[in-house]
Structure 1
Amino acid sequence: MSDSAPVSWDHLKSRRPSDAEREALQAELVERALAVRQHGWGEYREVWSSGDIAAVAYLLGDTDLLEALDEHEGSVLTRFAGDLYGFQGARKDIESGLIETQAWFDAARAKLAARG
């Protein structure tokens, strides 16, 4: 039996990413979507996580890829809520119908459209 203390995850439950972190995540997602538009999915499907691929596909409205990944709007939004708002914030957003997460993706789509 180990003498080390059990790991506590409580600090992660209360952590909420900052506005700057959410903006950086959004900028990265928009850049990835632009890359896919320019070069196609080819190499990216080999190096990005399935969650990242699903998020970019959702942002691009690529329903065929989402279906191939066995993903849908709700699964993408639910997963991303945690990245955007932390554990407690995600629970609240899920309970309210993922309104804030949908708005975040809408803002990302507007930025993507503005970039071409």
Structure 2
Amino acid sequence: MPDEPISWDHLKKREPTQADRDTLRAELVDRAVTVRRDGWADHRDTWTAGDAAGVAYLLGDTAVLEELEEPEGSVLTRYAGSLYGFNGARKDITAGLVGTQAWFDSARKELDSRSPRTAE
């Protein structure tokens, strides 16, 4: 008996709310604050590669993004799906991911207000 085809319709209909986006931003910023304070060593292996890439992108840590083999576009595309759902992400991708980039910009401002960058 053949397997039933996988249906992704339930994901296509998912539309994250502003509260969902705020929760995602808070989690991402909390993780970035932790990395700024403690470094990556205790966290890289406990977070998924996608979560680590999001934190690295937020921090502007190109070395970690390279280690994860995650270019900016893949991080932004993944987060577009989490922020806007399937259909909304498609629209944001077509528009050049401007909504997702703006979301990361606001998360960076929050991060910098909570954990100012230190001189290297």
1:47-76 Cα shifts (integer Å, max 9, x gaps):
100000000000000011111111121110
SS in 1 for 2:44: helix
1:86 equivalent to 2:101? Answer no
Letter in 2 for 1:96: A
Name 1:115's counterpart in structure 2: 114
> Which TM-score applies when normalising by structure 1?
0.92
* Shift, 1:15, TM fit: 1.1
The amino acid of 2:45's aligned partner reads: E
Counting matched residue pairs gives 115
Distance 2:5 2:69 in 1: 36
5+ residue gaps, structure 2, are: 116-120
The separation in 1 between residues aligned to 2:35 and 2:65, in whole angstroms, is 14
- What's 1:98 paired with? 97
Query: Take 1:108 and 1:48, find their aligned partners in 2: how far apart are those partners?
Result: 19
What residue in structure 2 maps to residue 38 of structure 1? 37
Identity of aligned residues (%): 62
Q: Distance in 1 between matches of 2:90 and 2:15?
A: 12
Query: What is the distance in 1 between the residues matched to 2:43 and 2:100?
Result: 24
Q: Which residue of 2 aligns with 1:25?
A: 24
Q: Which has the higher helix share?
A: 1
Post-superposition offset of 1:7:
5.3
Structure 1: gaps spanning 5 or more residues:
none
**TM superposition score normalised by structure 2:** 0.89
Which runs of structure 1 show a deviation greater than 4 angstroms over 4 or more consecutive aligned residues?
4-7
